[in-house]
Chain A
């Protein structure tokens, strides 16, 4: 209809705000989380839930790792240090940060910059979650006095999983604890010597998918109560892929990590499977 041509052109020229993409992605994250939290509510049972965001596991060259796996000392080539350690408290929340940095090469510096960025992002995100919660709290009739009793916290810490004279595997965790739940996991696996991402294939060889899947299925079946793991048909474990998170343990084996509620009931929390090489 020609009358509608102009109206339609008008409609199509509605400018798209820059933040639309961000908002759509935020909606996706929130929706995904809400869907999962149906499991959470049943299993968690506590008013205040603490959720951990694990986002960094740095693994150095696997060949060197295997060769030097029995030398549990981090050498002089690369170092993991605490670069920022502070606590900041105001009336609304406490922020506690223990931020690691990696030194020794340009790639290590790049990784450190990424950690820095991630930590800053997590602090901002955590503060935003608390601010949103505060707004909702008062909007629904909460009092200033009751609000003061809340102990809202944003924390960032790190934990070295394993180290040798040339390799290190560690996770950086950030947590937001308020009266509701938030959770997300991202691991970075990096070969600092070669300056690239490290994969399960590097550690386990070409058949890594089958090796992992067989080991995981065997461990699930051997569990005291195998029903804690979701069926594949119910959205449970299907297969590992390039996006599967892992870190390297003291024995030099990759440990595959699944965030809570993805493959098993929430009560199990983060689920880990060691894949023996």
Chain B
């Protein structure tokens, strides 16, 4: 356990900026909004640096701030998509697959709390334990959401993910 120094924090933030941007972009799909989210998260990290007790957890600590910034941004949009009743497929409780059907698009189409976990697990390659710290949920919830997500993506789960 070592308390982080401001210089170490800023070095980390500058160093890993591309990662942060990609994660933000994967949520927002908008260049300006992703830049805003990264800037907001960086700013918050500096403000709240005293809350980071252990320098070893900087990645999970900051990713959590960043994910929250992205979620706030999404909430702010308050975008409501209206779907005409005839377009609904009454026979299926499964989400329709997006037209182009690529896995990346399907991941994005998942509910945000599920997509977050899938992205962190497979794009950022974080462990389930780290993810549970980032999203502030029990490990069991993370697992449930991950399996739900994979099921919706129609991906067979081979062994332990």
The answer to the question of B17 belonging to the interface, with a C-beta cut-off of 8 Å to chain A, is yes
Contact with B along A5-34 (1 / 0, CB 8 A): 011101110101101110111111011101
Number of interface residues of A (CB under 8 A): 26
Give bound CA distance, A31 to B40, whole Å. 9
The stretch among B20-28, B75-83, B91-99 that forms the contact with chain A is B20-28
Give bound CA distance, A31 to B69, whole Å. 14
Which listed residue (A7, A14, A25, A26) contacts B122, Cβ 8 A? A7
Give bound CA distance, A4 to B146, whole Å. 14
Which listed residue (A3, A19, A34) contacts B46, Cβ 8 A? A34
Q: Judging by beta carbons under 8 Å apart, are A21 and B35 in contact? A: no
The answer to the question of A35 belonging to the interface, with a C-beta cut-off of 8 Å to chain B, is yes
Question: Chain B, interface size: which category?
Answer: 35 or more
Which listed residue (A11, A17, A24, A35) contacts B47, Cβ 8 A? A35
Q: Judging by beta carbons under 8 Å apart, are B22 and A11 in contact? A: yes
The answer to the question of B74 belonging to the interface, with a C-beta cut-off of 8 Å to chain A, is no
Q: Judging by beta carbons under 8 Å apart, are A20 and B35 in contact? A: yes
Q: Which of B14, B43, B45, B122 has the most CB of A within 10 A?
A: B43
The answer to the question of A67 belonging to the interface, with a C-beta cut-off of 8 Å to chain B, is no
The answer to the question of B55 belonging to the interface, with a C-beta cut-off of 8 Å to chain A, is no
The answer to the question of A139 belonging to the interface, with a C-beta cut-off of 8 Å to chain B, is no
Give bound CA distance, A11 to B25, whole Å. 9
The answer to the question of B131 belonging to the interface, with a C-beta cut-off of 8 Å to chain A, is no
Q: Judging by beta carbons under 8 Å apart, are A27 and B22 in contact? A: no
Give bound CA distance, A111 to B155, whole Å. 63
Q: Judging by beta carbons under 8 Å apart, are A31 and B35 in contact? A: no
Contact with A along B35-54 (1 / 0, CB 8 A): 10011111111110100000
Q: Judging by beta carbons under 8 Å apart, are B17 and A6 in contact? A: no
B131 → chain A closest CB, angstroms: 15
Contacts of A7 in B (CB 8 A): 102-104, 107, 122-123
Contacts of A218 in B (CB 8 A): none
Q: Judging by beta carbons under 8 Å apart, are A27 and B41 in contact? A: yes
Give bound CA distance, A14 to B31, whole Å. 10
A31-B42 contact, Cβ under 8 Å, with A11-B104, A23-B35? yes
A10-B102 contact, Cβ under 8 Å, with A20-B38, A34-B47? yes
A17-B42 contact, Cβ under 8 Å, with A1-B158, A11-B22? no
B117 → chain A closest CB, angstroms: 13
Q: Judging by beta carbons under 8 Å apart, are B18 and A16 in contact? A: yes
A130 → chain B closest CB, angstroms: 19
B91 → chain A closest CB, angstroms: 26
The answer to the question of B1 belonging to the interface, with a C-beta cut-off of 8 Å to chain A, is no
Q: Judging by beta carbons under 8 Å apart, are A12 and B155 in contact? A: no
Contacts of B140 in A (CB 8 A): none
Q: Judging by beta carbons under 8 Å apart, are A11 and B43 in contact? A: no
Give bound CA distance, A3 to B26, whole Å. 18
Give bound CA distance, A24 to B62, whole Å. 13
The answer to the question of B161 belonging to the interface, with a C-beta cut-off of 8 Å to chain A, is yes
Give bound CA distance, A34 to B31, whole Å. 25
Beyond known contacts A7-B107, A16-B17, A28-B42: 9 more, CB 8 A cutoff: A6-B104, A7-B104, A14-B21, A14-B25, A17-B21, A19-B35, A23-B38, A23-B39, A31-B45
Q: Can you name 17 A-B pairs with beta carbons within 8 Å?
A: A3-B153, A3-B155, A4-B122, A4-B123, A7-B104, A7-B122, A11-B22, A11-B123, A14-B26, A20-B21, A23-B35, A23-B38, A27-B40, A27-B45, A28-B46, A30-B46, A31-B43
Counting from the closest, the 10 A-B pairs by CB-CB distance are A31-B46, A27-B42, A31-B43, A27-B39, A7-B103, A27-B43, A7-B104, A10-B104, A4-B122, A23-B39
